Amino acid sequence: MEKRSVTVAAVDVEALERDAAAAVAAASTPEELDEIRIRYLGRRSELKQALRAVRDRETGMTLNAVRERLEAAFDTRETELERDQLAKRDQALDVTLPGTQLRRGRLHPLTQIRREVEDIFLGLGYEIIDSREVETVWHNFDALNQPLTHPSRSHRDTFYVDDDTLLRTHTSTGQIRVMEQRDPPIYIATLGRVYRRDTPSPRSTPNFHQVEALAVDRGITLADLKGTLMHFFRAMFGEGRDVRMRTSFFPFTEPSVEFDVTCFLCAGKGCAFCKHTGWFEMGGAGVVDPAVFERVGYDPEEWSGFAWGLGLDRIAAQRHGIPDIRMFWENDLRVLRQF
């Protein structure tokens, strides 16, 4: 049977709706869709004119139903087109992942270790001191009871600026400066760069970092020293580390010791790193020599103290299993990016 199109108020509504729906589907931009909307639903459109001319209820209802369906079709298509446009713009901005990566900077491994060390001391209630690097001979040697004949005073071992001035060879100088200025009790950690005329090797560089602790109070003994060292190394390298002391000599401490720590690589079992002893040499320490207290005006009868010092670079090397501390100074990004 021939399909008859419905003609209402002289308008072929079926054809109109079909044409409009096809045009809506074909619109490729919101602007195009707007033009089509005006053509089919605008004030002068066929549909609106027919609606205006409506006299009977049935025709009105038919035309209004067409109008509503078309409006809905326009709205749906509009949302679709807007979504497409947004998607295209996002592609132009390339917010897809991964984007072009910016390389973030990071702290040098020595700086990271230095901050960790500072945190451990702050946790113990110590104050952090970074004194000057250019020092007087008096603060670097004389005040520390260093004999005039000691080889470390020679120009072959130490960088001199002039006869009375040098680049500090250890951070003990900062301890002298603090003791000159303040009365006990004193709990400080001095840390920073130090200089010695050493030939660069896997275990030493002419410029390196030290951390030294100084505690001055009433009744301080070697046991306090050992307890503090143990706490420090357990915080640094994990529980189960032990500290071993061997008698030694420093002009500024009496008695003096050198201390070893359980090798962090083999946990004390013995490996090539610790020469199969299970221990790793860490630094020097001792009970502050009364002669040093006299130099800074403290009464050695009333006050006693301990001091210990070690190289930060070696701690960092141990921590990361770095076989050659010169790597910390070469600034090779392939190395530094790994920390």
Query: Nearest Cα to 110, choosing from 192, 212, 233, 200?
Result: 192
Distance CA 286, CA 309 (A): 10
CA distances from 48 to 67, 89, 131, 171, 270 (A): 9, 36, 89, 93, 96
Q: Which is nearer to ligand PHE, 126 or 308 (CB)?
A: 308
Asked whether the beta carbons of 69 and 17 are under 8 A apart, the reply is yes
Q: Which is nearer to ligand PHE, 109 or 284 (CB)?
A: 284
Which range in 55-63, 116-124, 125-133, 306-314 contacts ligand PHE by CB under 6 A? 306-314
State yes or no: residue 172 binds ligand PHE (CB under 6 A): yes
- Residue 301 CB coordination number (10 Å): 8
Q: Which is nearer to ligand PHE, 45 or 205 (CB)?
A: 205
Q: Mark residues 83-102: x for contact with ligand PHE by CB under 6 A, - for none.
A: --------------------
Shortest distance, position 238 Cβ to ligand PHE, whole Å: 24
33, 166, 307, 327: which one binds ligand PHE (CB under 6 A): 307
Which range in 58-66, 79-87, 228-236, 301-309 contacts ligand PHE by CB under 6 A? 301-309
The SS3 of residue 316 is helix
State yes or no: residue 174 binds ligand PHE (CB under 6 A): no
The SS3 of residue 216 is strand
State yes or no: residue 285 binds ligand PHE (CB under 6 A): yes
State yes or no: residue 184 binds ligand PHE (CB under 6 A): no
Q: Mark residues 7-26: x for contact with ligand PHE by CB under 6 A, - for none.
A: --------------------
Distance CA 305, CA 286 (A): 9
Shortest distance, position 311 Cβ to ligand PHE, whole Å: 8
253, 262, 304, 318: which one binds ligand PHE (CB under 6 A): 253
Backbone angles phi, psi at 93, to 5 degrees: -80, -15
Q: Mark residues 32-61: x for contact with ligand PHE by CB under 6 A, - for none.
A: ------------------------------
What are the residues whose beta carbons fall under 8 Å from the beta carbon of 1, sequence distance 6 or more? none
SS3 content of the chain, % helix, strand, coil (to 5): 45, 20, 35
Largest CA distance in the chain: 126
Give me the residues that bind ligand PHE (CB under 6 A), please. Answer: 170, 172, 212, 250, 253, 283-286, 307-309
